[in-house]
Structure 1
Amino acid sequence: MPYARFVQIGRVCLVNYGPMRGSLVVVVNVVDHNRVLVEGPAAGISRQVIRLTRLSLTDLMVPIQLGARPGTLAKAYAKAGIDEAWAASSWGKKLSTRSKRANLSDYDRFKVMVARKTKSRAIGKEVKRLKKAAA
């Protein structure tokens, strides 16, 4: 399968380093082979140059022209439904789950542990019952 995620105008990227970590941004212009001009309309990130090493390219695209104005970008971003598409993607779900688990309290972690043990016991009993019935 050929590589499909290219650095191009309208590519949605995830910031993976720095104070904007975890935010979605859109490539507005390519400065050179190391840097791009990005803006994050949903996260409220103003237009700025960022290194490509600090970005992870996603499969999502926003149909915009080179150097699109902030209002045009915001409208195209909303029309493309990027936030909903990101939330429905496996990558977005995994990051959401990871952040939820990181923010659990001790009691919430305890409840998760008890639920996991209960589920494992129920599955174990069912497996034993099916093995006994098959024999």
Structure 2
Amino acid sequence: MPFQRFVETGRIAVVSDGSNKGKLVGIVDVIDQTRVLIDGPCSNVPRNQVRLNQLHLTKFRIKFPYTTPTRVARKAWNDSKVDKKWAETVWAKKVAAKEKRAQLTDFDCFKLRRARSRRI
């Protein structure tokens, strides 16, 4: 099966490491084989370089020229409704469920186990 997600200008990715972990960013420019310039205009991620092994590429891509300013990237991001499309994916739903489960207290976990055992 051929590759579907390429490292290219406009590709949307999720940061997997560092202080911006879990946030959506757009690739603005490819610096070399291991680094890219990213910008997260709507997720409050400043424009900076990041290693490719710190990113998870998504299937979404927006159209803008490489090394575009943040205002142009923000307009393309909003026009293509990336946040809405991302929220509808199974990947985003799994991340949200994992965060919700991490927020449970001991008593909530007990109630969940109890309800699950009664169901079976």
Aligned-residue offset at 1:75: 1.2
CA distance in 2, matches of 1:115, 1:73: 47
CA distance in 2, matches of 1:84, 1:114: 35
**What's the TM-score once normalised by structure 2's chain length?**
0.95
SS of 1:22's equivalent in the other structure is coil
| Counterpart in the other structure of 1:75 | 75
Aligned-residue offset at 1:86: 1.1
Alignment of 1:1-135 (within 5 A): 1-120=1-120
CA distance in 2, matches of 1:53, 1:115: 40
> How far does the alpha carbon of each residue in 1:45-94 deviate from its partner, in whole angstroms, 9 at most, with x for none?
11000000111111011111111111111111111111111111111111
**Structure 1 spans left out of the alignment, 5+ residues:** 121-135
CA distance in 1, matches of 2:21, 2:97: 16
Moved over 4 A (4+): none
Aligned-residue offset at 1:107: 1.8
**Structure 2 spans left out of the alignment, 5+ residues:** none
Task: Compare CA radii of gyration and give the structure with the larger one.
Answer: 1
Provide the alpha-carbon RMSD of the alignment.
1.0
CA distance in 2, matches of 1:90, 1:64: 26
Which structure dedicates a bigger proportion of its chain to helix?
1
SS of 1:13's equivalent in the other structure is strand
Q: How many residues align?
A: 120
| Counterpart in the other structure of 1:127 | none
SS of 2:96's equivalent in the other structure is helix
2:106 counterpart letter in structure 1: D
2:68 counterpart letter in structure 1: A
**What's the TM-score once normalised by structure 1's chain length?**
0.85
Identity %: 37
